[in-house]
Structure formats: structure tokens, C-alpha cells
Amino acid sequence: MKAILYNSAGALRLIDDVEIPSISSEQILVKVVACGVNRLDLLQKAGRYPPPQGESTILGVEVSGYVHDIGDKAAAASGLKVGDGVCALVGGGGYAGYCVVPWETTVLIPNGISVLDAAGIPEAYLTAYSALMWSARMRQGESVMIHAGASGVGTAAALIAKATGSSQIFVTSGSDAKLEACSKLVNGDIHCINYKVKNFADEVLKATNGRGVDIIVDFVGASYWEKNLRSIALDGRIVLLGLLGGAVTECGFDMGTILRKRVSLVASTLRSRSLSYKAELCREFKEKAFPLFTSGILKPVIDKVYVIEEVEAAHERMGSNQNVGKILLTL
């Protein structure tokens, strides 16, 4: 099969004769149609985000395609069969013609979603759902600010927040074009803030009459810390998903504000979670969110599709923050 491998310097290369992996009785072999490109792929090839123990070292944590083979226990537990169109969250191995996936994190593609576009669902939507509904315990009528609002997870979070009945949705980005795309995505029902032009804390406090937002979903970290504390409401929750802006704050860790506002800070990653966590997350997401894909309330937001031979261009687009939504690779 074809697969993308990388060396110690992070250079990618396409190999045509990689052996197709075998499966256990509890696994599924998917013939991959498309895989999602994620920032963690760039970190992994740079040696900064190794795959969990026992997972494939091939890049790629989400795929869509068709069931090519399925173990007896996986078939009995999942109800899936050879030929079914599925999308799956995996620990690695997505940048390849065939990918071994756990049955627990593999689901039939929702009605109305193409097999190609379905590759844009697992990582983005499960991360966003976990952040909002599990980590932040979001309730109807609460307000939320989503940093990196045009990213795959950011666009998914905005759509989930709207579907959940958020009272106010704020997104930040350094590009007016990206912010316009975010606004169109939710039919204008959103506050868009260009952080390069305006102080997002000032804008949030102005729009909320000084109250702040109930939830902040943050991929940036240290450089946003002080403004996040200004932006968060009493009893607010900050969910930290990344450290694009560094891990160490310049202003010091302001425990006084956290105590005064009763702020909860929750850090979350998905790839390193246990299979049981991912399985329960997939089960709940399928039950509660898949009907919203069928009705069109939720949808995979696809930025650009590359063929596997163009993987370097896909990584360049991701690395230079050009994307709005998901970048996909087709096999």
C-alpha cells in the first residue's frame, strides 16, 4: 500500500510498497479514502508529539473510507460489515492506503455526508465536543469564546455552540477573511474579533456589559493568559487545548483573579486518552450529534483537499495557518 513516512529530520516521503497491516479480532481494517491533516501531525514529524505506545508511527489520527476487513469480535460489537462507509478516530496510521482502527472509535458515516468529507469529522468534532460538553460542561444559554476560530476544531466548536443554544459566540482570528468565513458558517450569529487589530478582552467585556464569557476554548496558552482572565465571567471555565503562544506567562500566574472569579482551568488532549475514554466520547457524540449532521445543523468544514502526493503542500498550508476548517488528503 501507499503510505507517508518521515525521517528524523521530519522530511516526508511517499512509499508505494508498505505492507498492509493485519488486524486482531477486535479491530477493523479500513481502505482509506481520505485522512485529516492536523497540527499534531506537524509536531509528530518534528519529534515533539510521539504517538502513544503501541500505535502506528505513520502520521494521521482520523480517516474515512470503507471497511475492508473486520475481526469477529469487532463485527459482533459494532454491527459493521465489509463495505460499510465509515469514519474513525485512530492513534496513528491515517496517511496510508489502509488503516487499522478500533471498532470503538469507528462509526457509520452520517446520512448526507460524503465519504470524502467525513474525514473532517472525527478529530475536529470529537475534540470540540469533549472541550465544550465534557470539560466545560456547557449549558444552553451560556456564552463562549473560541480562539483560533477558523481552525478545524474552532469551526466545529462554533457550530456545536450554536446548536447547543449558546447566548453569545465569540471567535478570534488574525485574519478578516477567516473571520468572515466564520460568520458565514453560523449565519452571522457570532462576534468576530481580529486580535491583531483589537484587544479581544476589551471587545468581550463591551459586548457582555462587563460580565465576560462563561467558557473560553483556548489553543494559544501563555500569550493569551492575562486577557483570558479579563474575559472570563464569574464561575467561568477555560479549556486549554494547545500552547501555540507558549507555556510560560510573562505576567505570572494570577491566582487572585482565579479565586475571585471562581475560574475553572481544564487542560485536555485527545490523542493520549485511553481507548475507553474515546469509546464513550464516540458513543455519546454519535447519539447526540449525528442527527444534527443529517439535518445539516452540523457539517464537516473542509478547507482544501490534496492528493497524498501533495502532502508537503498540505503541511505547508497548515503550518502557515492558511486554512479555514479541515485540510484533507485523499489516497
Question: For 269-324, what is each residue's pLDDT tens digit?
Answer: 999 899 999 999 999 999 999 999 999 999 999 999 999 999 999 999 999 999 99
| DSSP-derived 3-state class of residue 270 | coil
Whether pLDDT at 251 is above 80:
no
pLDDT of residue 296: 94
Kindly give the interhelix angle for 152-164 and 176-185, rounded to the nearest 10 degrees: 40
Question: Is the pTM of the predicted complex or chain greater than 0.85?
Answer: yes
Residue 9: which H helix or E strand, with range? Answer: none
Return the pLDDT at 289: 94
Q: How far apart are CA 2 and CA 97, in angstroms?
A: 5
In the predicted model, what is the mean pLDDT of residues 241-248? 84
| pLDDT confidence bin for 110, thresholds 50/70/90 | very high
Quick one: pLDDT at residue 246? 83
Q: List domains and CATH numbers for the chain.
A: 3-121+300-330 (3.90.180.10), 125-267 (3.40.50.720)
Confidence at 188, pLDDT banded by 50, 70, 90: confident
**What torsion do the CA atoms of 40, 41, 42, 43 make, to the nearest 10 degrees?**
50
Does residue 134 contact residue 58 with C-beta atoms inside 8 Å? no
Average pLDDT, the chain: 95
